[in-house]
Every structure is written in C-alpha cells, then in structure tokens.
Chain A
Amino acid sequence: MSVEVARGRFAIFRDQYAELMRSAFLVDLQYRASIAIWLIWGITEPIISLGIWWSIAATGAVEGYTREAFARYFFGVALVNQATLSWDAWNIDRWIREGEMNYRLTRPIAPIHEAVADNIAYKGPTAAIILTAWIIAAAFWPAVRVPFEPGRWTLALIAIVLAAAIRFLNGYATGLLAFWTTRATALVELQFGISLFLSGRIAPLSLLPPQVVEVAQYLWFPYVVSFPVEILTGDVATFEQYARGFAGQLVWLAIWMSLYLIVWKRGRRHYGAVGG
C-alpha cells in the first residue's frame, strides 16, 4: 500500500469516526433525561460505599484508610467507573436477536467501530461532568483533593483509557456470544456482580480477604477500576507498582482483543442473520 493510499484510508477512517461520534452524541442529546438518571445511578453506588466506610472509619483508620482516604478513593471510583463502564453487550444482543446487525454487516466498516464511537461520545461528556463535580467538591472539601502532579494525572489518564478498552472488549466479546446463545447478557451480568468486589468498587482491594485478593490478581478486574483509581489517589507510587499495573492492563487488553477477534470471526460464520 502506498503512502497516499494509506493516508486516504486514514482520512476516511477519521471522517467515519467523527460522524459516528457526532450522530451518537446527537442521539444521546435526545435521551438527556435518561442519561442524567443513569449518571445519578452510576454515582449512587460509590456514594453508598463511601457512606458505609465513612461510618466504619469513625473511630480511626481501617487498614490504613482514613475517612479522607476513603472519600478520595470513592470519588476516584465514581470517575473511573463512569469512564470505563460497558453496556455494549445489551446493544449487540439486540442487534443480533432483532436483525439490526444485518445492515451493519453490509456497511464498509466493522460494527465494533460504531460501538467504540458510541462509547467515546457518551463517556467523554459524562465523565467530564463527574470530573467537574469532583473539582467543585475539592474546592470546598480538602479531603477529596489529590496532589497536583500532572505526570501522575497523565499516567492515570492512560490507565483509564486502557481500562475502558479492556472493559469494552470484555463486554463486546461477551455480547457477541449472542451469535450462539440467548444468555449472553446474563454472562455479562454475572461478570458485573463479580466485578463489584474484585475490581475495587465496593471497597479498596487491600480491605478484602487475602484469598479474594489472590484470586483477583489472576483476573482483569483489579486493572479496570482499582489500578487507575489508586494512581489518582497516590496509592500506586513505586515504579514496580506502575509496571505491574500497566503490564497487567496490556496483557488483559491483548487477551480480550484476541477473544474478540476469535468470537467475531467464528460468530460471523455461525450467524443466522435473523429477521427480515
């Protein structure tokens, strides 16, 4: 492929993404009330967790976590969770079951790009709202302030992007099981339940029983919420912690990307193209 051809293709690809994101954003605007409700629902979980740990820590720090540390941690969870959550399995399940996948498969762009654009269009603005709320809260409540360290924030941003990619591919690949089964979304819900504990959404991982932490280490869950949050709060600080976290993220990204490619390729061959 010549350089010009490659450039031309890239320009078309960029244009495709810009329009896919634009239309996804316009659709989101139509559903702004629903989005506001989902946003509130999304931050309710860390707020409740914070409330519980705030009470528990009334008499002193829990495993090194003071009330203030819990507050910072769960503000971080609210932001990271919003930026990385994944609902794609439900969409794909509908596309496949109701025949909406058909026209998507006859377009010269893989359906996954529409889902990626949809994620960016939704998560960008909604995560920005949570970040703004955090900044405003920090102005009045010193407990939720994190140290001004642009280098750390940049690394946190990279970790959030990688976490979003892992959760996205995890949800998308699992959703593609709808090519074979009507229970794909149930599998996602099961993972969602497990992730409440193993990703650090209910409590910082260090507060969980050691056996649970041991199991979590071998799964992707700690890398999609806990790791980026702990970069933000300063709990990840040493080179070794960073290296282990990013390595874990890259390994799981590669694993879920491979699983996506395998499931997609096989699923396409198995597809019954239902509906119309």
Chain B
Amino acid sequence: MPNAIVATELSKTYDVKVRDPGIKGALGALVHPRYRQVRAVDNVSFEIERGEAVAFLGPNGAGKTTTLKMLTGLLFPSSGRAHAAGFDPWTGGNAFRQRIAFVLGNKQQLLWDLPPEETFRLNRAIYGVPNAEYVKRRAELVELLGLGNLIDKPARQLSLGERMKCELAAALLHRPEVLFLDEPTLGLDLEAQQTIRSFLGEYRTRHGATILLTSHYMADVTALTSRVLIINRGRLLYNGELSELVARIAPIKRIELVLSVPVPRSVLEAYGTVAHYAPPRATLEVPREFATAASTRLLSELDVADLSIQDPPIEEVIRIAFGEGDAASIQEVPEESSEEASALVRTDARRAPQ
C-alpha cells in the first residue's frame, strides 16, 4: 500500500534571540543581538500508510506540532524531505492543499461572528466543491457530528465542543485524504470527545483517510490509532505498535482483586507487588509472564469475589516513555543513538516556537 506521509530526516532549527534580564540586558540586546540555535525537530523519519491512523505523542515543546506544520507546508524545514498525499508540502501548492486538512484544536477557522453554515459555504467555494456534492457532504457531516441545531447559530455563541464539531465539518467538506489533527479534543467534555472520536473513526473508515493526530488524551490514542510515534526534544524515540510499547516499557500486568474475605497486606505480597490496598479491593503488579500463574494461585488460595488482569494505564506508560523510565527499553527507531536515549530521562523539555 502506498505511503500517505513520509518524513525523511526532517529537521527544523530556530534562531532564538537570547537576552539577559533587566534594562542592561535589553539595551545590550539592541547593540549586540545574540542568537541561540534551537533544534525543534531533529532528524525525524517515519512513514504512514494510506488509510492508517497514527498518534504523535510527546510532552509540550517536544516537536510534535512543528513536525505537523512542516508536513502541512506551513513551515519550511531546515533540512530533510517529506511527502504527504503524494506531494512535497512546500512545492505542492494548491493541489496539495486540496488533499489535506490541518485542524488545530486551539485555533479556529470558523467565522466568529457568523453561523458555521457561512464558513461551510465559504469553504465550499475555496475548495471548489461542486454544489451537488457540497449538499451531499454537508448532509453527511451534519448527521455524523449531530450539527442539526448548531449551524445557524453564530459561532461565538457555540460551546467549545460544539465549535470543534463545526470546525471539523468545515475542515472536511473538501474530503481530504490526509488529516493532520493537533489536539482535536483539547478542553472538550467527555461527551464531545467521544463524539469527535467516533466521527473521526467513521470518516476514516468511509473515506479511507489517513490520520496523524497529536493528543494529550490517551482515550483518543487508544480509540483511533494502533501505532504511535513518540517524540521528545525533537527526536523520534519510538515508532511502533502501542501494545508493543506497553509490553516493552511496562513489563508488568495489573491484577485487580475484590476479596470475599479480606486478608492482610503481607499475605498479598507473596503474589506480587501491592500497588493499591483498600480491603476488600487490592491491586497487584506482577511481571507479565507470571500474570496467569499468579492469578491461578490467587483464585485457588484466597476467597476471591472478582479478579481481572489489565495492562497498566496507558497514561502511565507514556509518562514513563517521556522521561522517567529506562530509556533504552523503548529503543525502537534503529538510527537513534545513546544521546537520544538520554533525552528520555531529561524532563527539561526545550521550549521552541511551535
């Protein structure tokens, strides 16, 4: 299957003005401006197949949005190459822009003072969607996102969740092949998040679209994607299946117990590490390979009312991957060196313009 997105050794370096504090520093910067080079994205390479949905994860300032902005042609890279939807983003021009959508969760393109319907009309013309096709697509988006009673209210009167739904509809009217979504559920309530997740999944299934998504909500990641890219300090640290990452970085399983007859904590410690103890409930952490055996023993030796074996929460896995775990354990990208690995354990993420 052909790739929808290819990034090859993509890098972006910014010159950031350095200024000492105080009036002296300000005056000094006027006379002798000094610049420091910040590498926001450093030699990032990955490929995404057509129709695939991939999550791009990393702490704030890691380089996610900068990479997305390069892939959408907004930013020119300092070095490296990229292809998206069959085009070079920086020379693809309008033919490229016709095939992509870039949705920024914290920025809106809806006309603030007018109903979303007006933005839809405008985008129909801007993307040259034929009228009959527009009517069909608009109806589909209104139905999938439940926009029926929203599109004739001025955008400024809509709630954040309602606005985001309309933003997505406006961004997808031209039926893009590749969707770049930067925090599409940022700040939304659970119901709105859920609507947007189901919608994106449905859009992808119906139209075979490719999705590259950044999000701080793990529910977005687990519901929509199977592969994750982890970036920190501009470097790609992991590129692979989410389940594999969980297995590599957190080689434990959690056994959630509800006991019919509570037992002392010391009894449970014989089966694994007690992560949580609040009788009759308890959570044990055991090495993955022993999870089944430990469960069998627990069921036969104690009065257990309920037992379930789970992976550790994905939030925790990602947090470990970002900076608190054993970096070497998630080495997946072949060309990474020990320098990148050490980046994992540093938490002072560089703040670069994004």
Asked if A26 is at the interface (CB within 8 A of a chain B CB), the reply is: yes
Do residues B124 and A19 form an inter-chain contact, with CB atoms below 8 A?
A: yes
CB < 8 Å neighbour of A19 from B113, B122, B353: B122
Residue of B nearest to A9 (CB): B128
A-B contact count (CB 8 A): 95
Asked if B285 is at the interface (CB within 8 A of a chain A CB), the reply is: no
Asked if A41 is at the interface (CB within 8 A of a chain B CB), the reply is: no
CA–CA, A103 and B354, complex, Å? 14
B87 to chain A, nearest CB (A): 12
Q: How many residues belonging to B are interface residues under a CB distance threshold of 8 Å?
A: 38
Do residues B75 and A108 form an inter-chain contact, with CB atoms below 8 A?
A: no
Asked if A16 is at the interface (CB within 8 A of a chain B CB), the reply is: yes
Do residues B126 and A19 form an inter-chain contact, with CB atoms below 8 A?
A: yes
CA–CA, A82 and B354, complex, Å? 39
CA–CA, A276 and B75, complex, Å? 13
Q: Annotate B104-144 by CB proximity to A: 1 below 8 A, 0 otherwise.
A: 11110101011000110110111110000000000000000
Q: Annotate A95-114 by CB proximity to B: 1 below 8 A, 0 otherwise.
A: 00001101101111100000
Residue of A nearest to B72 (CB): A106
Do residues B104 and A272 form an inter-chain contact, with CB atoms below 8 A?
A: no
Asked if A15 is at the interface (CB within 8 A of a chain B CB), the reply is: yes
Contacts of B121 in A (CB 8 A): 19, 22-23
CB < 8 Å neighbour of A103 from B76, B105, B109, B353: B109
Contacts of B65 in A (CB 8 A): 276
A102 to chain B, nearest CB (A): 6
Do residues B75 and A271 form an inter-chain contact, with CB atoms below 8 A?
A: yes
Q: Annotate B307-344 by CB proximity to A: 1 below 8 A, 0 otherwise.
A: 00000000000000000000000000000000000000
Do residues B125 and A18 form an inter-chain contact, with CB atoms below 8 A?
A: yes
Asked if B69 is at the interface (CB within 8 A of a chain A CB), the reply is: yes
Contacts of A106 in B (CB 8 A): 72-74, 97, 100-102
Asked if A187 is at the interface (CB within 8 A of a chain B CB), the reply is: no
Do residues A108 and B127 form an inter-chain contact, with CB atoms below 8 A?
A: yes
Residue of A nearest to B96 (CB): A108
Do residues A276 and B94 form an inter-chain contact, with CB atoms below 8 A?
A: no
A51 to chain B, nearest CB (A): 37
17 sampled A-B residue pairs with Cβ under 8 A: A15-B125, A15-B128, A16-B128, A19-B125, A19-B126, A20-B125, A23-B111, A23-B119, A31-B113, A103-B109, A106-B101, A108-B97, A108-B128, A109-B94, A109-B126, A272-B353, A275-B354
